[in-house]
Chains A and B, each alone.
Chain A
Amino acid sequence: NAGVTQTPKFQVLKTGQSMTLQCAQDMNHNSMYWYRQDPGMGLRLIYYSASEGTTDKGEVPNGYNVSRLNKREFSLRLESAAPSQTSVYFCASSEAMQPTGKLFFGSGTQLSVL
């Protein structure tokens, strides 16, 4: 069982370039999330999708867009990358949008913006 799969694992962008981070889960989960992890700042929620067809902003949504393509897939797009978006990005899923629901994380995408 693959769980949550993220691609790519590593990416280097130049300032102003765009890219899409892909995420897919095979656990039939309803809710999916995008987090960024920066040293000393923990995990900060960028966007989430409580269920197929819905998306909402998290703590740090500026500079990002998301698409819940179907129940399995949730992508994160950087339209014009900035050095401040250098970070490790994690996709996660949970059975439902309940705070006690266990989050399952992917292995992350390490993004550098030069």
Chain B
Amino acid sequence: QQQVKQSPQSLIVQKGGIPIINCAYENTAFDYFPWYQQFPGKGPALLIAIRPDVSEKKEGRFTISFNKSAKQFSLHIMDSQPGDSATYFCAASWSGSRLTFGEGTQLTVNP
């Protein structure tokens, strides 16, 4: 069964901190790894995505790190702000398949 395991379930950091959210997957056929961000009362929205041919991708303050041998990938948020407080979902898929989502991480950034 295709699975993506996400941790931690919740995370609290101070403004300016660097929260890190981790995901691990089992299916080595996965070749697309997006992160979705969800604010309260809203649907998730695509934040950033990576393919396994690179080990890191940055978009603004958000960075995905990818470790193919360990079958893990993580989201780092540099200089976190209270406005980054949201639920973050990792996901994975392979060509021809649908996205499999992780369990979600509720991030709180305190002022």
A residues sitting closer than 8 Å to B (CB atoms) are 4, 40-45, 48, 58, 90, 92, 99-100, 102-108
Measured CB to CB, the nearest residue on chain A to B46 is A102
**Least distance between B99 CB and chain A CB atoms (Å):** 6
A58 touches B43 (CB 8 A): no
B52-60, B69-77, B78-86, B87-95: which lies at the A interface?
Answer: B87-95
- Our count of residue pairs bridging A and B at CB distance below 8 angstroms stands at 51
A42's partner among B42, B89, B96, B98 (CB-CB below 8 A) is: B89
Q: Which secondary structure dominates where chain B touches chain A?
A: loop
Measured CB to CB, the nearest residue on chain B to A40 is B103
B residues sitting closer than 8 Å to A (CB atoms) are 6, 9, 32, 36, 41-46, 49, 89, 93-99, 101-104
B94 touches A43 (CB 8 A): no
- Residue of A48, A104, A105, A107 with highest tally of chain B CB at under 10 A: A105
Report A-chain residues with C-beta under 8 Å of the C-beta of B103: 40-42
A108 touches B9 (CB 8 A): no
Report A-chain residues with C-beta under 8 Å of the C-beta of B102: 42
Report if A105-B32 is in contact (Cβ < 8 Å); known contacts: A42-B102, A99-B98: no
Q: Which 10 A-B pairs have the closest CB atoms?
A: A105-B43, A99-B93, A42-B101, A43-B101, A42-B103, A100-B32, A102-B46, A105-B44, A90-B43, A42-B104
Report if A99-B101 is in contact (Cβ < 8 Å); known contacts: A90-B44, A105-B44: no
Report if A103-B42 is in contact (Cβ < 8 Å); known contacts: A40-B9, A42-B104, A43-B89: no
**Least distance between A46 CB and chain B CB atoms (Å):** 12
Report B-chain residues with C-beta under 8 Å of the C-beta of A99: 32, 93-99
